[in-house]
Copies of this chain bind each other. A is one copy, B any other.
């Protein structure tokens, strides 16, 4: 089976390459080559093709925030005044390092963010001091992630 989109086609070998690298970005190309039974040079060519297609958007070491003391994840829905320019609010949110995701969303909230904090006191400080002080923010609704059960990418 082929998955195709625009001018990009991904076959089973591409999938195996991607799956290996999605699990561990430092998997040696030659190891993948041995696994799928083609030469390293071929894997290399396919990788260049996949990168050029934009399918591979990067590779990252992932840090466990808990080790740094960030044990609490929370989601915050933000209501903005109608007059407020959303991009300006995002600009201010970007300055808060604890904000790790930020979305414009449909629904009641104008903006929806994900944050990491050390504890409830830290969370309260982020809400009251950092976020509520952004001009245009009228109200927020917060809920805490008690436990994350799934964290993955779309399967290839």
Residues of A within 8 A of B (CB): 3, 5-6, 8, 18, 21-26, 53-65, 67-70, 73, 75, 90, 93-94, 97-107, 109, 112-113, 116, 142-156
| Cα of A69 to Cα of B26 in the assembled complex, Å | 27
B59 adjacent to A64 (CB under 8 Å): no
Given contacts A106-B143, A149-B90, contact A154 B63 (CB under 8 A): yes
| Cα of A85 to Cα of B4 in the assembled complex, Å | 39
Q: Which residues of chain B come closer than 8 Å to A98, judged between CB atoms? A: 154
| Cα of A76 to Cα of B10 in the assembled complex, Å | 30
| Cα of A152 to Cα of B102 in the assembled complex, Å | 10
A3 adjacent to B56 (CB under 8 Å): no
Residue of B nearest to A10 (CB): B68
Nearest-CB distance from A68 to chain B (Å)? 6
Nearest-CB distance from A27 to chain B (Å)? 9
